[in-house]
Amino acid sequence: MRTASLERKYSRWGWFFVAPAALLIFILSFYPMVHAFVLSLQSGLGSNLRFTGIRNYYRLFQDAVFLNSVVNVFEYLIIQVPIMLFTALILASILNSEKLKFRGFFRTLVFLPCATALVSSAMIFKSFFAVDGIVNFFLLKTHIIAGPISWLSHPVWAKFIIILVITWRWTGYNTIFYLAGLQNIDTSVYEAARMDGASPAQQFFKFTLPLLKPVILLTTIMSTNGTLQLFDEVKNLTNGGPGNSTITISQYIYNLSFVYNPQFGYASAVSYAILIMVALLSFVQMKLGDNK
């Protein structure tokens, strides 16, 4: 009886400590999500709000800008995420080597871009790739190009620069996850592999990758979600231009809410489109990752 009484007492105190955080999560996360869904079924502003059902969702399939933004984010996703994760895995393997001197310094150096303010890093790259920037200066001096290139005004090159900035910023972040995973692998696994004559490449593909599978799955899901919600880099580098050739879904939501005539109902429907895509892709990745 005394044990049961203590358990009830601890349970009450547990709920007491959890309640403030749970209340904040409800107010700041769940309530806005429910409100956004209700808003997505309406059109108009203020007192002129009227229920329109799924008309906003039907509009998504007829909206050329939205469809273009979806194509853009999937281009970023398909190209950038594999490059970033593979680079992070290679860097983590190098930084985990006991033969590497000044490992702490190099680990800090790799993670440093992630600690840089988003606006600052975007502005730095924007100045690098300006018409009179350092990239054009170097290419002109080495006679690689005949005239300066307007990188951020070209639909293809602008996307390339966005991918470059995202990769530069987030590779170190994923490297830390892989480095932590590598440090949890027992060194006896590699010692046994070396005794059996396995080459470094065989050790990497036969042991390292399978043992890092949960971490790779985690970083893949996080990177996918982050790319689908990409906003800061595109907003600060190209503002979605030229035209709408680099616009992302999140930037389109911003434009619908604050740049164009406010369309909060339709913007909410677009935000739920992101939620559905994130949920579906995460589900597929988890199913593929669970396959033995």
| 166-216 per-position pLDDT tens digit | 999 999 999 999 999 988 888 777 778 788 787 777 888 888 888 888 899
59-90 pLDDT, tens per residue?
A: 999 999 999 999 999 999 999 999 999 999 99
Structure-block tokens of residue 16? 């007491």
* The total number of residues written for the chain in this structure: 292
> Between these two residues, 160 and 100, which has the higher pLDDT value?
160
pLDDT at 50 over 60: yes
pLDDT of 291: 62
The pLDDT of 40-65, averaged and rounded, is 87
pLDDT of residue 6: 60
Query: Which pLDDT value is given to residue 253?
Result: 94
- Residues 253 and 271 sit within 8 Å (Cβ to Cβ): yes
What is the C-alpha end-to-end distance of the chain, expressed in Å?
47
> What is the value of pTM for the model shown?
0.87
Using CA atoms, how far residue 37 sits from 12, 192, 270, 290, in Å, is 34, 55, 10, 31
pLDDT at 234 over 80: yes
Q: How confident is the model at residue 1 (pLDDT cuts 50, 70, 90)?
A: low
Which residues neighbour 37 within 8 Å (Cβ) at sequence distance 6 or greater? 268, 272
User: Is the four-CA dihedral 86, 87, 91, 92 of positive or negative sign?
Assistant: negative
pLDDT for 292 equals 53
Amino acid at the residue 172: G
Higher pLDDT: 46 or 33? It is: 33
- Percentage above 90 pLDDT, the chain: 45
**Residue 107 and residue 146 in contact, taking contact as beta carbons nearer than 8 Å:** no
3-state secondary structure the chain: CHHHHHHHHHHHHHHHHHHHHHHHHHHHHHHHHHHHHHHHCEECCHHHCEECCCHHHHHHCCCHHHHHHHHHHHHHHHHHHHHHHHHHHHHHHHHCCCCCCCHHHHHHHHHHHHHCCHHHHHHHHHHHCCCCCHHHHHHHHCCCCCCCCCHHHCHHHHHHHHHHHHHHHHHHHHHHHHHHHHHCCCHHHHHHHHHCCCCHHHHHHHHHHHHCHHHHHHHHHHHHHHHHCCCHHHHHHCCCCCCCCCCCHHHHHHHHHHHCCCCHHHHHHHHHHHHHHHHHHHHHHHHHHHCC
C-alpha distances in Å from residue 95, one per residue of 86, 176, 231, 241: 14, 10, 31, 38
Question: Which pLDDT band, with edges at 50, 70 and 90, does 10 fall under?
Answer: low
Mean pLDDT computed over 231-258: 92
Of the pLDDT bands very low, low, confident and very high (cuts 50, 70, 90), residue 52 is: confident
Q: What pLDDT sits at residue 4? A: 57
- State pLDDT tens for residues 247-283: 999 999 999 989 888 889 999 999 999 999 998 988 8
d(CA 107, CA 130): 31
Segment 90-98 mean pLDDT: 87
pLDDT at residue 125 tops 60: yes
The pLDDT score that the predictor gives to residue 157 is 93
pLDDT of residue 140: 92
Decide the pairing of beta strands 42-43 and 50-51.
Answer: antiparallel
Cα(239)–Cα(252) distance, integer angstroms: 10
Q: What are the Cα distances from residue 50, in Å, to 32, 126, 152? A: 19, 43, 41
Average pLDDT, the chain: 87
* pLDDT of 35 higher than 60: yes
Q: Which two tokens stand for residue 253?
A: 């939501």
